[in-house]
Structure 1
Amino acid sequence: MNILDRIIETTRERISKDKKAISLNQIREIAESKKDSSFLFQKAISKKGLNFICEVKKASPSKGMIVDEFSPKDIALEYQNIGVDAISCLTEPHYFMGKDEYLREIKECVNIPILRKDFIIDEYMIYQAKALKANAILLIAAILDKNKLKDYLSIANSLGLCVLVETHNEAEIANALFANANIIGVNNRDLKTFKVDIQTSLRLKKILPNDIIFVSESGITTRKDILELEKINTNAVLIGEWLMTQSDRQKALQILKGIL
């Protein structure tokens, strides 16, 4: 069993427990009471130029513990202060040491959009994300067939949630387009092997329609990477582990942007 399969298995167990605490009907009712039509995440990452989604991330299966002193609220405030366009918050607890509570804390202290990054395998998690006041969710094409992807996109959009559909290859992009995704990300990290190659974004962007908002995810660490992605009209980059490990995150971001 590879890492992705193990994550899905533990996620299934986690959501089963969550449903016992709060039923599907209850979480749906909470989510629908918070529905809106602002779609702030989409607006934030589709502005002219390259936009930055920066991640609040404590650990990962490939790196283990990323930071010893972890305050999601402080990190999120720092991101907002240094001018990032949106925040990605990990809520998967077993492999990434995330918590729903982290998203709640961040939402209370920043006014930029927040993406709930988790392994959504059940519609319950979509309503859960809205109840947590997330502005967007991640749907991973590698773990959802095209019909479920389409259904989940429809549920999310009906609540006012933006959806970043993550892909890794041509077949997954085809499924994302079938599902009517308007924000498509390419993860440069293979979720089964965790090998990173930024060429994945450069290759797959070529087959996307021009009206799709394109996000390159993972492995972006240098100004050279940014310049290559700008050449192909990337709308946004999602940066996690690398920025989390920088002692001076403002300087690191300025170097990526070419300010320093």
Structure 2
Amino acid sequence: MSVLDSIIEGVKEDLESRKLSRAQILEAVEKAAAVRADISSFQNNSLSLIAEVKRSSPSKGALAPISDPALLASKYEKGGASAISVLTERRRFGGSLEDLDAVRKAVDLPILRKDFMVDEYQFFEARAHGADLVLLIVAALSKNQLLDYLDLTQELGMHAIVEVHTMDELEIALDAPSEMIGVNSRNLKTLEVDSIAFKDLLPRIPTDVIRIAESGISTPADVQYAVDSGANAILVGEALVRAGDPEFAVQHLLGEQ
């Protein structure tokens, strides 16, 4: 069993323990705060940064305790982030839907629910907790699931980042109506990072698609490499949660300090 398979198995187990009835989750969606549908900053900025609230990871273990995710998100917003990513997977990343709720209330930016979306229920759950964006990992889904989940995301008014790591996965993403494609330099099956994925895959994504570089970005030089490869957005977690001054760290990566 790969690392990804193991994570997904845990995600499914945890989901079964917290599922509401269909009527209950639909009522929660109905009462949810309106979607922040404007993602124009990703298209208009020369570089956008998605800053992540992330306590731990399977590859690095504990990263930061993050006792106040709302405060951290507020610092990201002040630093110039275009969106906030919130890990909600519990077992490997130490996240929760409560973190998502807290961050949503604290900032005015679009919020990405960062999780392993493998069940239709999770999309209604994401919207009920105020998510504006969700992550769809091609390696975790069949092609039909990807298409169905993209449709469901749109029906709920949210946006999807379609994540790829290989050429085969990128071809699947390009065959789907993907408005945002993230190239993850980390292989989720082995957890190895190789930034060559940026250079190989980002230039193949059409310029009318938002192109996001994910993982392995911690310095301005890493940012420049991603931009030179074709990224117009980056997603950064570890480097920011470990920074003593998250607001300055965001500005530094964006070249403002």
Give TM class, smaller chain: over 0.9
Question: Is 1:249 paired with 2:246?
Answer: yes
Deviates more, 1:147-156 or 1:228-237: 228-237
Q: Any residues of structure 2 matched to 1:19-98 within 5 Å, and which? A: 19=19, 22-32=20-30, 34=32, 39-40=37-38, 42-98=39-95
Q: CA deviation at 1:228?
A: 2.1
d(CA) in 1 for partners of 2:59, 2:74: 26
Q: CA deviation at 1:224?
A: 1.4
Q: CA deviation at 1:38?
A: 5.2
Q: Secondary structure at the match of 2:194?
A: coil
8 Å Cα contact 2:54-2:93 kept in structure 1: yes
Runs (4+) of structure 1 moved beyond 3 Å? 32-38
8 Å Cα contact 1:35-1:160 kept in structure 2: no
Corresponding residue of 2:131: 134
Corresponding residue of 2:12: 12
Q: CA deviation at 1:44?
A: 3.3
8 Å Cα contact 2:80-2:251 kept in structure 1: no
8 Å Cα contact 1:52-1:85 kept in structure 2: yes
d(CA) in 2 for partners of 1:82, 1:251: 6
Q: Secondary structure at the match of 1:120?
A: coil
8 Å Cα contact 1:88-1:117 kept in structure 2: yes
8 Å Cα contact 1:31-1:127 kept in structure 2: yes
Q: CA deviation at 1:149?
A: 0.3
Q: CA deviation at 1:183?
A: 0.5
Question: Under a length normalisation based on structure 2, what TM-score does the superposition of the two structures give?
Answer: 0.94
Question: Under a length normalisation based on structure 1, what TM-score does the superposition of the two structures give?
Answer: 0.93
Q: Secondary structure at the match of 1:142?
A: helix
Corresponding residue of 1:194: 191
Unpaired runs of 5+ in structure 1? Answer: none
Count residues in correspondence: 257
- The 1:113/1:126 distance shift into structure 2, 3 A limit, reads same
Of 133, 142, 149, which residue of structure 1 is paired with 2:146? 149
Q: CA deviation at 1:68?
A: 3.2
Q: Secondary structure at the match of 1:238?
A: strand
- The 1:38/1:240 distance shift into structure 2, 3 A limit, reads closer
Q: CA deviation at 1:30?
A: 2.9
- The one-letter code of the counterpart of 2:14 is R
Q: CA deviation at 1:256?
A: 2.0
CA RMSD of aligned residues (A): 1.7
- The one-letter code of the counterpart of 2:101 is R
Question: Is 1:108 paired with 2:118?
Answer: no
8 Å Cα contact 1:145-1:175 kept in structure 2: no
- The one-letter code of the counterpart of 1:226 is V
Identity of aligned residues (%): 40
